[in-house]
Amino acid sequence: MRPVNKGKDAGEFKPYQDAQNLLQERIGEFCSYCERWIASAIHVEHKQPKNEYPKLQYSWQNFLLSCSNCNSTKSHGKLNLDDYVWPDVHNTFLAFQYAAEGKIHPVTGFGPSLDARIDKTWKTLGLNRHPDTATNGFEAPTTKDKRWTHRRDEWEKAHRRQIELKKYDTPHLRGCIVDMAASRGMFSIWFTVFSDDIDMRRRLIEAFIGTDKTSFDDEFQPVKRTATL
Ligand SMILES: [Zn+2]
């Protein structure tokens, strides 16, 4: 999950939908969770649900952007922030591993507490939805939930572009590939596929608006953003 930086606290927005433009300006027109580019109907997402936490309904601190799939999958009940990892707080790129066929795996080995938070985030957002239900923790997607097929297709596209780049490596082609990626979303897939190419990683971080730069070192390897993650 792409770590994002929402910038300076922008205060309160009434109605909360008014925050949409500034969020899009600062973190791009991408779902904060599944990372797809959303042409329309992107929601101002409340990290802590507005019905349960009415005081946070208008608060910039509580906002992200989400697609209808992530929005409807995420629990609408009480939600303790410390039970999850968040793309505007943590380096969530370290929390999940992206793989072929549209799969996302939670990363483990951080210790029981953080491992449980990552696992809970994965399941609560339905990022564990994939038809390969024989794999531990995966759940069957609903018919309306195409997130896994979009990831699968994007992974294949990124791989084709990588092969093309090996044959005809030019700065122009690099720029074209990154422009295409940034117009489609799914930063984490592109960043994973181009993991051995420092120049492409640098370009991807630049091109995806609002990617948190403190989450990557001088060689564009992901690093912890806070003491936790
Ligand atoms: Zn989404």
Please list the pLDDT of the chain residue by residue as tens digits (229 residues). 999 999 999 999 999 999 999 999 999 999 999 999 998 889 999 999 999 999 999 999 999 999 999 999 997 789 999 999 999 999 999 999 999 999 999 999 999 999 999 999 999 999 999 999 999 999 999 999 999 999 999 999 999 999 999 999 999 999 999 999 999 999 999 999 999 999 999 999 999 999 999 999 999 999 999 999 9
Predicted pLDDT of residue 219: 96
Distance 38 CA to ligand 1 centre (A): 9
Burial label for 99, CB within 10 Å (0-12, 13-18, 19+), is middle
Give the 3-state secondary structure of residue 69. Answer: helix
Phi/psi for 19 (5° steps) reads: -80, -10
Distance 70 CA to ligand 1 centre (A): 4
Distance 169 CA to ligand 1 centre (A): 33
Alpha-carbon span 148 to 126, nearest angstrom: 10
Predicted pLDDT of residue 153: 97
Predicted pLDDT of residue 75: 75
Distance 170 CA to ligand 1 centre (A): 33
Contact (CB, 8 A) for 185 and 35: yes
Distance 71 CA to ligand 1 centre (A): 7
> What is the CB neighbour count within 10 angstroms for residue 110?
17
Distance 73 CA to ligand 1 centre (A): 9
Distance 65 CA to ligand 1 centre (A): 8
Alpha-carbon span 96 to 108, nearest angstrom: 9
Predicted pLDDT of residue 39: 81
Predicted pLDDT of residue 138: 97
Distance 121 CA to ligand 1 centre (A): 13
Q: Is beta strand 63-66 parallel, antiparallel or unpaired with respect to 43-46? A: antiparallel
Question: What residues have a C-beta under 5 A from ligand 1, the ion?
Answer: 31, 33-34, 67, 70
Distance 218 CA to ligand 1 centre (A): 29
